[in-house]
């Protein structure tokens, strides 16, 4: 489904990603862990075709995503920090807007079903301005569901969520995978990532220092590995 080969990304003289290669088959979830400034968000943005790599390739479903981003974008569902929601529209209006813009079917029944799936049906007609961060993230996920995305790219999905919210995101990801979807999740949450990921990757200072099946790692082992591999790697603010 997704393969990145020798990805490098530099902003001026600063090398943010240095030779990252990874592959993920359909229906699997990859959790990308790493301290602040390790390059997680940059990696996600390269996979999402929001930035071009300085060198290296990204292939999604056999299509070169760097050269032909428009061909892979219909497959992508991206939920980043901002969730792509308009504050002065209601949840229902937001979904209708994005689905129409995508050229999809924005029928009331589909929108209502997507809102019910993310448990926002009770507040469907309230303005997003009144929503919490977790609710906005769920609305972002409803947009992805409505678009029938096959590759989900989530940036820090657990940040700012309480235990129930984190559990909800985990359940969402498991259901997404069960439906044949593929997901890449950039996160700080070691526990959250082990609960849903099939593979665990750790980035430190732009380099991929670990890429292993999640089944090989217990929570304690992952914690120890993370500490040893990222020690002193946090970028200066």
Partner 1 sequence: MTYARRAWIVLQKDLLIERRSKEQTNALLFFCLLLLFLFQFALGPDRERLTAALPGLLWLGFILAGLLGLGRSFLAERENDCWEGLRLTPGDKSAIYLGKLAGNCVLMAAVEVVLVVLFGVFYDVDLWTPAAPLALVLALGTLGLASVGTLFAAMTSQARARELLFPVLLLPVQVPVLLATVSATQALLLGQPLADVAHWLKLLAGADCVYVTIGVLTFEFVLEG
For partner 1, the binding residues (CB under 8 A) are 48-50, 70, 73-74, 76, 78, 80-89, 93, 96-98, 100-103, 127, 136
Q: What's the min distance (Å) between Cβ of 30 and partner 1?
A: 20
Which CB atom, from 81 or from 224, has the smaller least distance to partner 1? 81
Residue 14: CB minimum distance to partner 1, A: 19
| Angle (nearest 5°) at CA 86 between 101 and 160 | 120
Tokens of 193: 């990532």
**Residue 31 and residue 42: Cα distance in Å, rounded?**
14
Nearer to partner 1, 70 or 220 (CB): 70
C-alpha–C-alpha distance, residues 234 and 102, integer Å: 38
The residue among 85 and 190 lying less far from partner 1, judged by its C-beta, is 85
Is the CB of 49 or the CB of 193 nearer to partner 1?
49
In terms of CB distance, is 79 or 208 closer to partner 1?
79
Min CB(141)–partner 1 separation in Å: 14
Which structure tokens are listed for 42? 């940059």
Q: How far is the CB of 143 from partner 1 (least distance, A)?
A: 8
Calculate the CA 109 to chain-centre distance: 27
Residue 188 main-chain phi, psi, to 5 deg: -95, -15
CB of 99 to partner 1, least distance (A): 9
Query: 81 vs 167, which CB is nearer to partner 1?
Result: 81
Residues in the chain: 237
Buried b (16+ CB within 10 A) or exposed e, 95-129: bbebbeeeeeebeeebbeebbebbebbebbeeebe
Q: Dihedral sign, CA of 159, 116, 93, 111? A: positive
CB of 84 to partner 1, least distance (A): 3
């Amino acid at each position: 489904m997704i393969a990145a080969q020798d990805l490098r990304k530099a902003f001026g003289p600063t090398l943010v990603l240095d030779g990252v290669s990874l592959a993920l088959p359909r229906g699997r979830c990859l959790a990308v862990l790493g301290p602040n400034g390790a390059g997680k968000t940059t990696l996600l943005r390269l996979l999402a075709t929001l930035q071009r790599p300085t060198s290296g390739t990204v292939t999604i479903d056999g299509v070169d995503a760097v050269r032909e981003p428009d061909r892979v974008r219909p497959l992508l569902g991206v939920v980043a920090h901002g969730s792509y929601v308009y504050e002065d529209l209601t949840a229902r209006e937001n979904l209708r807007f994005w689905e129409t813009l995508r050229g999809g079917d924005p029928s009331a029944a589909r929108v209502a079903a997507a809102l019910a799936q993310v448990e926002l049906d009770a507040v469907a007609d309230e303005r997003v301005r009144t929503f919490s961060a977790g609710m906005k993230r769920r609305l972002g996920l409803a947009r992805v569901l409505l678009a029938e995305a096959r590759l989900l790219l989530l940036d820090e999905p657990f940040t700012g969520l309480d235990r129930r919210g984190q559990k909800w995101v985990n359940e969402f990801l498991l259901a997404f995978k069960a439906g044949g979807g593929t997901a890449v999740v950039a996160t700080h949450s070691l526990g959250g990532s082990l609960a849903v990921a099939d593979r665990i990757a750790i980035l430190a200072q732009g380099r991929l220092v670990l890429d292993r099946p999640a089944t090989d790692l217990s929570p304690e082992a992952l914690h120890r590995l993370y500490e040893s591999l990222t020690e002193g790697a946090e970028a200066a603010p």
